[in-house]
Structure 1
Amino acid sequence: MNELAANTSPLLTYGVLSLIIIVAFIAWFFVNRASVRASEQIQLLEALIEEQKKQNVLLRRLVDAQPTTAKPVVDEDANEQRDFIRMIPER
C-alpha cells in the first residue's frame, strides 16, 4: 500500500486539487448569483408592497369622499328564476 502512495506524482495530486478548487469556484458562483437574484426580488417585492399600501390609502380616501348612494332593490325571485333556467339537468 505504501508503494502505491509513494508512486503518486505531485503533478497528479496538484491536478486533482486544482480540479476540486475549480469545481468549488463554479458552485460558489452559481450559489452567489442565486443569492443576489433572490435579494433583488425581495427588494422589488417590498417596493411593490409599499406602492400597494399607497394605492390602498388613496382608494380609501376616494371611497370615503364619495357620497353614499342607496343600493337598488334586487328582486330575489327573479334571480332564482334565472338561476333555475341556467341549470342543466343531469341525464
Structure 2
Amino acid sequence: MKKIIMLILITSSFIACGKKDIVELTSREEKEKLVKEIVAGDTNSQKKYDVIIQKLKSQMKEGKKEAQNELEEWEAKLSTEKSLGLDKFKKVQL
C-alpha cells in the first residue's frame, strides 16, 4: 500500500512539473495570417510576433529542438512574405 501511494505521488509530481516545458506550436494558417499583418504594418501583430519569438528563443536555449524548428518556420514564413511584398512593390513602382 505504501509503495502504491509513493508511486502515485511521484507520478503526479512528474506530470505537474512537465507541463511547463511544452513548446507552443502555432498552426500554419495562424502564422500566415500574422505574418501578412506584420508585412502590412500592423503594430499589434508585430508585438505578438515578438512575444512568440522571445518564448521560442528562451526555450531553444534550454535545448528544445521543437522550439528551434518552430522558430525556423516563423523566420522562413516572414522572409518569404517580405520578399513577396517587396516584389509586388517593385513591380508597381516600375
Higher helix share: 2
Question: Normalised by the size of structure 1, how large is the TM-score?
Answer: 0.39
Structure whose CA Rg is larger: 1
Q: Which has the higher contact order (CA 8 A, sep 6+)?
A: 2
